[in-house]
Amino acid sequence: MAKVTDKIIINGKTVKNRITMAPTVKFDFAGPDGMVTEKHISHYTERAEGGAGLICVEATAVTPDGRFAPNHLGLWEDAQTEGHKRIVDACHKNDVVVLIQLNHTGITANPMFGTIIGPSAVPTRSGELSKEMSKEEIRSMQESFVSAALRAKEAGYDGIQLHGCHGYLINQFISPKTNLRTDEYGENKALFAKEIIQEVRERCGKEFIISVRTPGAEPDVQHAINIAKEYVSAGCDYLQVSHGIDSFGVNLKAESEPYSDLCALGVNFHPEFKGTVPVSCVGGLMTPELIKYIIENDLADTVDLARSVLADPQFPNAVLTGSDYTKCYECRRCQYGPMTDHKCPADML
């Protein structure tokens, strides 16, 4: 029986326990230049000291036009690399494996950055149609992801995570709602990301971790598993499962199970990839008891923590050692959310 304190090997890298910090964007930390700031350094240093075995740094734009907003962290040019080295150093000093999540927002991009592009011409949030990407634009975008991965390697990251969830560009390529293409990128909806994975592996080396944050039901569980199997066949080392564009519905778990429906997506993936690549789950993992339940019952290989480790950077240590911790109050408006002046109750104790 595995324990949360057990080590796990991911593509040759030893992760000291089964707790990971999920990528969570700090909307007020970066400036228009996309550079790492002192706020980022302090934030990730505190979490690296908090006991997690692996940290995945927040969604980082691979091109300027793929940002959420002007205050979105970037890795689209060489000048941005130096700041990322400081994040990596803080993690490595605390024996933490560190990845960075690479992202392009696609049809959900902020229109202030120009023409909104995607796999197909479909309505955007403004109601206007996105521009369908040509094959030349697809290849250029893939190269942007690979170039960002190379910069991540230069910065010292142990690997990358491709953001293939939550309605962003890679997710848009695998969803039948947003990918209406009739060419090879429509026939094989995993192809866009597969080619990125293959090229990152070729140019960043066999020891570089490639993770994908992938939907657990897009448009349904079995289809999502099949997509993930294609990612693994292309060279993905680690699947971190979350939600996509489609609603993942209900009946994913027994009513008596203590974890959330979102968490159940990763739980459902785990048996399919056992002995192949590790699988993580995420969603409502707010107590040490629930985290231990997931790991000790072999429901996932690792657990991704978000709000609990935002509320208290030392929460992983509390899970590992039984020490006290400050709970997340699960506010509807988290202080780390976009464009909010809400303050975390945990900070006021």
| Percentage with pLDDT > 90 across the chain | 88
Specify the CATH number for the domain of residue 296.
3.20.20.70
Residue 69 has pLDDT above 70, yes or no: yes
> DSSP letters of 143-170?
HHHHHHHHHHHHHT-SEEEEE--TTSHH
pLDDT grade for 127, boundaries at 50, 70 and 90? confident
Predicted local confidence at residue 347, as pLDDT = 74
Total of domains in the chain? 1
pLDDT digits (tens, 9 = 90+) for 241-282: 999 998 777 678 888 999 999 999 999 999 999 999 999 999
The answer to whether position 1 is within a domain reads no
User: Taking the CB of residue 174, how many other CB atoms lie within 10 A of it?
Assistant: 29
Q: What number is the average pLDDT over the span 226-230?
A: 98
Quick one: which H or E segment has residue 21? strand 19-21
> For residue 118, what are the domain limits?
8-348
Q: What is the rounded CA–CA span in Å between residue 238 and residue 278?
A: 5
User: Is position 2 within any domain?
Assistant: no
What is the rounded distance in angstroms from the CA atom of residue 83 to the CA atom of residue 162? 20
pLDDT number for residue 246: 84
**DSSP 8-state symbol, 19:** E
**Residue 92: is its pLDDT beyond 80?**
yes
pLDDT at 202 over 70: yes
Q: Peptide bond before 288: cis, by omega within 30 degrees of 0?
A: no
* More confident position, 119 or 348: 119
Q: What's the pLDDT at 333? A: 85
Q: What is the mean pLDDT of the chain?
A: 95
What band does 12 get if pLDDT is binned at 50, 70 and 90?
A: very high
Give pLDDT tens digits for 278-330: 999 999 999 999 999 999 999 999 999 999 999 999 999 999 999 999 999 88
Structural domain contains residue 254: yes
Q: How many of the other CB atoms lie within 10 Å of CB of 49? A: 17
Helix or strand (DSSP H, E) at 174: helix 169-174
56 part of a folded domain: yes
pLDDT level of residue 349 (50, 70, 90 thresholds): low
Does pLDDT of 56 surpass 80? yes
Q: Which token pair is 73?
A: 């962290």
- How confident is the model over 147-154, as a mean pLDDT? 98
Could you tell me the pTM of the whole model?
0.96
Confidence band of 8 (pLDDT split at 50, 70, 90): very high
Query: Nearest Cα to 101, choosing from 277, 258, 306?
Result: 306
Q: 330 in the Ramachandran plot: left (φ > 0), alpha (ψ -120 to 50) or beta?
A: left
Q: Evaluate whether 152 touches 86 at the Cβ level (below 8 Å).
A: no
Question: Does position 342 have pLDDT exceeding 80, yes or no?
Answer: no
Cα separation, 257 vs 264, whole angstroms:
9
Beta bridge partners of residue 242, listed in sequence order? 215
